[in-house]
Amino acid sequence: MKISEIYEYVIARGIEKDPRGADVVAAQLAREKKKYEEMKAEDKKEFDTDRLANPYSDTRVLYGDPSAEVKRVLVGIDIEVGEVLLADRLAEKGSPVDLIMSHHPEGKALAALHDVMHLQEDVLARYGVPINVAEGIMASRIGEVRRGLMPINHNRAVDAARILNIPLMSAHTVADNQVNSFVQELMDSEQPRTLGDVIKLLKTVPEYAEAVKYNAGPAIVVGSKERRTGKILVDMTGGTGGSEDAYAKLAQAGVGTLLVMHMGEKHRKEAEKNHVNVIIAGHMASDSLGMNLLLDGLAEKGLEIIPCAGLIRHKRNQS
């Protein structure tokens, strides 16, 4: 496959599993196209034209010729300079890597992470929070994340890849959409009654079962095993953690349990104050599940996947 084909594939899969629905995504892309068409020539020079076909600002080809052919991909949850050097070392040992794929964004994809958080507004609206309220409570959080990203040295890994001439891309929300959909469908299908039942159900998923061995498996952080779940909301996509003001609104909308990848202490306390149960499924395990659901399709197309940097690789298609 060419790098461009891999990029187009992960975007298509991300849209397919987007919790907002294909119509909302199509409307977003149409707005970007209209905005671009109405821009002055000098403004178009600064516009990221990937936005016309890719609704996820945190998923980008960061370095490399899009027409380059790829046979072997080094894939990790976090790709830093060390992993780029690892790819170079593999080449020295006779196993060259044609592409490095990170889950967590780097470079310009990291700098624009905040933009994808608007996805969370529609998710809150789907669960009963009025859209005006959802947009209001997310606005300050999106601004906070944007400002927090400003001082970061975004391009370290990208620069290393450029110097060593190894293509690099990030696949973030496109993968998070996979795990969000997979786990929500699992919960909706099995209807676990208690938080303990949720934990047992998660452990039937290979990535979560493997994470237990590393002391990084699912855990209840608000509630107890005996507590009943009520309505379960899987919240594993949309860039990063949302607004702590959301928990009161979700409780009012009837959500009983949040199932998340990770949660900060301030957010956990707000959920507890509003009597919303919280289960942390596990960050690396959840990210691995999302990536694996993408990688299986790429492997079927003939790519060799070399997992690293926290990726718990599990193949669902064994052929």
CA gap 254, 270 in Å, rounded: 16
**At 89, which amino acid appears?**
R
In DSSP notation, the chain reads -BHHHHHHHHHHHHHHT-TT-HHHHHHHHHHHHHHHHTS-HHHHTTS-GGGGT---TT-EEEES-TT-B-SEEEEESS--HHHHHHHHHHHHTT---SEEEESS--HHHHHTGGGGGGHHHHHHHHTT--HHHHHHHHHHHHHHHHHHHTTS-TTHHHHHHHHHT--EEE--HHHHHHHHHHHHHHHHHH--SBHHHHHHHHTTSHHHHHHHHTT-S-EEEES-TTSB--EEEEE--SSS---TTHHHHHHHTTEEEEEES---HHHHHHHHHTT-EEEE--HHHHHHHHHHHHHHHHHHTT-EEEEETT-----S---
Phi, psi of 93 (to 5 degrees): -90, 5
Asked if residue 176 belongs to a known ligand binding site, the reply is: yes
Asked if residue 283 belongs to a known ligand binding site, the reply is: yes
Annotated binding site for a divalent metal cation: 176, 283
- List, as residue ranges, the binding site: 176, 283
